[in-house]
Amino acid sequence: MAKKVGVAILGLGVVGGGTYQTLVDHHDFYLKTQKVDLTVEAVLDKAEARLDALGVPEDLRAKSIDEVLANPNVDIVVETIGGVGVAKVFVTAALRNGKTVVTSNKELICKHSHELEDIAKRNGCGLYYEASCVGGVPIIRTLLDGVQANKINKMMGIVNGTTNYILTKMAGEGADYAETLKEAQRLGYAEFDPTNDVEGFDSTYKLSILSSMAFHTKVPYTKIFREGISGIATEDIAYGKELGYTLKLLAIGKNTEKGIEVRVHPTFIPTAHPLASVNDAYNAVYLCGDAVDDIMLYGRGAGALPTASAVVSDVIYAATHTEIKYSTFKNTANAERNVKFVSNFASAYYIRLSVQDKAGVLAKLTGVFARNGISIVEIEQKGKKEVGENGEVRVPLIIVTHQTHENSVKNAVAKLGETDMAKVEAVIRVEQ
């Protein structure tokens, strides 16, 4: 006999609407394949137009969170509202009422999972959030139930579709950042205020969640180095391509002997790397385990049905498993005291300079790098000479370094800033 499980959906936007549609359309399929009778028992959303558009019956339209939680037929509450305001209040109330929660809210999980998980434990219910990271790609389930035999020592991911779309278009069409962003907004890939995506906050929240799970220790988002793509110039993407690199906004986590290294920033990777071929709004996560070696998961990182796929997979998991799984680490607001984080991380660097076209400048320039312990792999003049208003001639110079340290590059850049011989136009990290 099939197990009957009632679901309530809070928020009927893109993801909530996709979740409702999936649960209704696939009801018989889940009954047959999963032996679970999943029914939508309540939907909470103030926008009547959205409810009407999806054909939500009047008797399922709840007027308040209290009405949802008082419904004895609701076993699982799905939250797709977003943010950490109302969503946190509603999720907290659901857990305190013993309702298992499934959420797609990465900011909520990133910032408050320690509080919410504690409430869930005390009330004997579950907290699931596969859809919070990388849309329809089952990365969290993979970390929990697929590669748990491994010590994960490295992960790199393209975890934000908006920035990947923008960088793909800039690379393919040669358009500048501002122009490409406007197109992304017009097509619905970017929000009216794109800051959360283009400045790397979204990727930072996701890396906090994923690295905590991968490394089995709390990695607060405040420990993650963050840099967005708003300063990326088209010429750097083109020059990188000539050097054999592709530019991506990467979320990078490494578990090293020196400590945990977590960073989000534009990164040049070799064009032959599997992540380099992940284009447009697609996402991918590349994992390296001590036993399995390399794995890459790839797919749509956003959208109504891809994200709903992740939400419903958690609903089915919760409905079909009596044993509740919580974090495999001590889930607290801050990292444990004995955990070290590496801020002066090692990387190779691409540096574009505008330098004076004078004898001896190159020697002085390389001297600054040498005094900061930076070894140069190659140095090339790119583009045309530029003549300033004062008649000074400058040439664009591209430098690619051997692996060095972040602080060494910052010190060298600061030193160059004290002189007139070179102006630093771009610094982009390179992952070999």
Q: What is the mean pLDDT of residues 300-323?
A: 95
Same domain for 214 and 65? Answer: no
- The pLDDT confidence band at residue 111, using thresholds 50, 70 and 90, is very high
78: domain CATH number is 3.40.50.720
Q: Is 407 left (phi over 0), alpha (psi -120 to 50) or beta?
A: alpha
pLDDT tens per residue, range 156-200: 999 999 999 999 999 999 999 999 999 999 988 899 999 999 999
Query: Global pTM?
Result: 0.95
pLDDT tens per residue, range 58-78: 999 999 999 999 999 999 999
Given a cut of 80, whether residue 383 has pLDDT beyond it is no
| pLDDT value at residue 329 | 96
Q: What is the mean pLDDT of residues 226-254?
A: 97
| pLDDT value at residue 392 | 80
Please name the amino acid found at residue 380: E
Same domain for 149 and 104? Answer: no
Distance from C-alpha of 243 to C-alpha of 264, rounded to nearest angstrom:
22
Same domain for 249 and 392? Answer: no
Same domain for 155 and 281? Answer: yes
Q: Which of 106, 111, 206, 254 is catalytic?
A: 206
Residue 293 lies in a domain: yes
Q: In 10 A of CB 324, how many CB atoms?
A: 14
pLDDT tens per residue, range 72-107: 999 999 999 999 999 999 999 999 999 999 999 999
231: domain CATH number is 3.30.360.10
Residue 263 lies in a domain: yes
Contact 133, 209 (CB under 8 A): yes
- The pLDDT confidence band at residue 389, using thresholds 50, 70 and 90, is low
Average pLDDT, the chain: 95
Count of the separate structural domains present in the chain: 3
| pLDDT value at residue 302 | 87
| pLDDT value at residue 386 | 78
Task: Tell me the residue range of the domain where 396 lies.
Answer: 346-430
206 is catalytic: yes
> How, if at all, do strands 393-401 and 376-381 pair?
antiparallel
Distance from C-alpha of 68 to C-alpha of 74, rounded to nearest angstrom:
7
Contact 117, 323 (CB under 8 A): no
| pLDDT value at residue 188 | 85
Give CA separation, 408 vs 340, 347, 432, in Å. 20, 11, 19
pLDDT tens per residue, range 8-24: 999 999 999 999 999 99
423: domain CATH number is 3.30.70.260
Residue 33 lies in a domain: yes
